[in-house]
Amino acid sequence: MIRRQPFAVCEEVRRMAGLRMGEGILRRKPIEHIEETEVGEGPRLERSLGLTQLTAIGVGGIIGAGIFTLAGTVANGTAGPAVLVSFLIAGVASAAAALSYAEFAGLIPKAGSAYTYGYAVLGEFAGWFIGWDLLLEYTAIVAVVAIGISGYFSFLVQDMGAKLPAWMLGAPGTGSGHKVDLFAAILCLLIAWLLNMGIRNAARFETFVVVLKVLVVLLVIGVGVFHIDTANYHPFFPYGVGGAFTGAATVFFAVFGYDAMSTAAEESKDAQRHMPKAIIYSLVIAMVLYVAACLVLTGMQNYKDIDKESGFSTAFKSVGLNRLADVIAVGAIIGILTVMFTFMLGVTRVWFAMSRDGLLPKWFAKTHPTRHVPTRVTWIVGVASAVIAGFLPIAEAAELTNIGILLAFVVVCTAVIVLRYRQPDLPRTFRTPWMPFVPALGVVFSIWLITFLQWQTWVRFAVWFLIGCVIYFGYSYKRSALAGR
Q: Which of 43-52, 77-86, 241-250 has the highest mean pLDDT?
A: 77-86
Candidates 107, 82, 145; CA nearest to 344 is 145
Determine, yes or no, domain membership for 212: yes
How is 404-443 classified by DSSP, letter by letter? HHHHHHHHHHHHHHHHHHHSTTS--SS--SSTTHHHHHHH
Q: Where are the alpha helices (DSSP H) in 160-227?
A: 182-195, 199-224
> Domain holding 295: CATH number?
1.20.1740.10
Determine, yes or no, domain membership for 475: yes
235 has a pLDDT exceeding 50: yes
Determine, yes or no, domain membership for 123: yes
Are 190 and 379 spatial neighbours (Cβ–Cβ below 8 Å)? Answer: no
pLDDT at 315: 84
pLDDT at 33: 61
Q: Which of the residue ranges 63-72, 197-206, 364-373, 467-476 would you say has the lowest mean pLDDT?
A: 63-72
Determine, yes or no, domain membership for 15: no
105 has a pLDDT exceeding 70: yes
241 has a pLDDT exceeding 80: yes
Q: pLDDT higher for 360 or 485?
A: 360
Using N-to-C axis directions, what is the helix angle for 402-422 and 114-121, rounded to 10°?
40
pLDDT at 19: 42
CA 83 to chain centre: 20
Determine, yes or no, domain membership for 283: yes
Average pLDDT, the chain: 83
Q: Which of the residue ranges 115-119, 359-363, 396-400 would you say has the lowest mean pLDDT?
A: 396-400
Q: pLDDT higher for 300 or 325?
A: 300
Determine, yes or no, domain membership for 57: yes
Rg of the Cα trace of the chain?
Answer: 23
> Whole-angstrom Cα distance, residue 266 to residue 263?
8
Q: Is the whole model's pTM more than 0.85, yes or no?
A: no
Determine, yes or no, domain membership for 370: yes
Determine, yes or no, domain membership for 365: yes
Q: pLDDT higher for 336 or 116?
A: 116
pLDDT band at 36 (very low <50, low <70, confident <90, very high): low
pLDDT per residue as tens digits for the range 268-285 = 888 888 999 999 999 999
> Whole-angstrom Cα distance, residue 112 to residue 351?
8
pLDDT at 253: 67
399 has a pLDDT exceeding 90: no
pLDDT band at 9 (very low <50, low <70, confident <90, very high): very low
248 has a pLDDT exceeding 90: no
Percent of the chain with pLDDT over 90: 31
User: What SS3 class is residue 145?
Assistant: helix
Q: Which of 54-68, 152-166, 209-223, 306-320 has the highest mean pLDDT?
A: 209-223
| Domain range enclosing 78 | 39-479
Q: Say how many domains are in the chain.
A: 1
Are 301 and 315 spatial neighbours (Cβ–Cβ below 8 Å)? Answer: yes
Quick one: average pLDDT of 11-26? 52
User: What SS3 class is residue 202?
Assistant: helix
> Whole-angstrom Cα distance, residue 205 to residue 199?
10
